[in-house]
Amino acid sequence: MTTTLVAPFSMADLLQRQRDFFATGATRDLGFRLAQLQKLRAGIVRYQDEIVAAAKADLGRPAFEGYFEVGAISELDYVLKHLRSWARPRKVSLPLNQKPGSAWVQPEPLGVALIIGPWNYPFQLMISPLVGAIAAGNCAILKPSELAPATSRVLAKLVAETFDPAHVALVEGGVETAQALLAERFDHVFFTGGERVGKVVMQAAAQHLTPVTLELGGKSPCIVTPDADLAVTARRIVWGKGLNAGQTCIAPDYVLVQESLKPALVEALKQRIQACYGDNPAQSPDLSRIVNEGQFDRLVGLLDRGNILIGGDHNRSERFIAPTLIDGVTWDDPMMQEEIFGPILPILTYRTLDEAISAINQRPKPLALYLFSKDKATQDRVIHHTTSGSLCINDVILQVAVWDLPFGGVGNSGIGHYHGIHSFNTFSHLKSVLKKPFWIDLDWRYPPYDGKIQIFKRFLGLS
């Protein structure tokens, strides 16, 4: 199925309309950008109830978690506050041998961006990169996930009411639509999703040498050390894993706990799951559902290995899986070979911190890493001896909402980053400008070179 708000235009026609509009220079005007962002903000406020309802329809989201989607407005407000300063030329100093003159970095828009969104946070993860694209002065074509159809419809209405399609347009559809878009030449492709499709996107973009931002995922570990506050640790891990039924790219994927601490941590996690979701989580109004039957079947298949400590209940017709703790799994089990992306939390142990760090470093670099420890030496060791897209100490998830922090992966977990000024930079070309006067023009650099080598060496600091 392929539907589009901009029929009867083909993908190529739509892209050309945006290129023509970009060529007018309208999007470069800072006032235009600010006005478009204000219009987007007003639209989000206007549609907030429909956005929350769509999250419920697509993912069984409780209203509280549905407002995480509307929370895109927080980043938008941050961008509105700072955009004028970000858009200014950024002066840089000149070395002595380049004086007199001046130099600066001139941010300029890339052109037309393609933004392909995921199904797990289908509104917020479409709006956030769009804010960056508009702020930097680009046109944009959006392709929301067909696996979240209710949200896709709300996005389609919001975009159609807010923007001229020559500036921002949205195209609905499935895989064929994404393929048709990726066959065109864009100035930037921004994709949020899984590693497998990320490779497809990167391969398609490579045909046009189009730069990409890939926001992927991976297995984000939680290291728990003996000095951690177990009650708070359990509360925060259960919240992060339960959020959207674990369908969060930076959800805690597995726990690495010091072996002597495991019984106490497992008990604290069990108690917290019961406190959050009750004796019968299937009846809890606060637990989301799995997005579709395919994902449900994949997750249930992971439960075949290991020992279920709590949870494990599931209902395919309701796409329900209870929050589940499991141990007895090995690094070679299927559960530890792929991102879980569901409410299943394996518990593994380590003897020494070096052993835990080594286990993490032997595997693809995670999108997030979580450490629960009061000890500064332990914190410093994990900071300096692991690599991950982000590191959060004594909490989970919340690093994603600090707008001054770049958000993105490394290696298999992603390419590039965004949020705040990092979004602005991602969707900008940071052009180097050097300006020199005519009034002085020493001849040391011009041929003939005879007798000038010593002068040049002094410039280079070689004598």
Q: Whole-angstrom Cα distance, residue 347 to residue 428?
A: 43
Q: Whole-angstrom Cα distance, residue 2 to residue 461?
A: 63
CB 407 within 8 A of CB 388: no
- Take residue 375 and report the two structure tokens written for it: 């000890």
Give the active site residue among 65, 139, 172, 249. 249
Q: How buried is 248 (Cβ within 10 angstroms: 0-12 exposed, 13-18 middle, 19+ buried)?
A: buried
CB atoms under 10 Å from CB of 307, counted, come to: 11
Q: Whole-angstrom Cα distance, residue 236 to residue 242?
A: 10
What are the helix (H) ranges across 136-174?
Answer: 149-162
CB 132 within 8 A of CB 426: yes
Q: Is 215 a catalytic residue?
A: yes
Nearest to 87 by CA among 132, 24, 145, 141: 132
Q: Whole-angstrom Cα distance, residue 386 to residue 377?
A: 14
Q: Is 249 a catalytic residue?
A: yes
Give the active site residue among 215, 222, 339, 392. 215
Residue spans of beta strands (DSSP E) within 44-149: 90-92, 102-109, 112-116, 139-143
Task: Identify the H or E element spanning 85.
Answer: helix 72-87
Q: Which residues are catalytic?
A: 215, 249
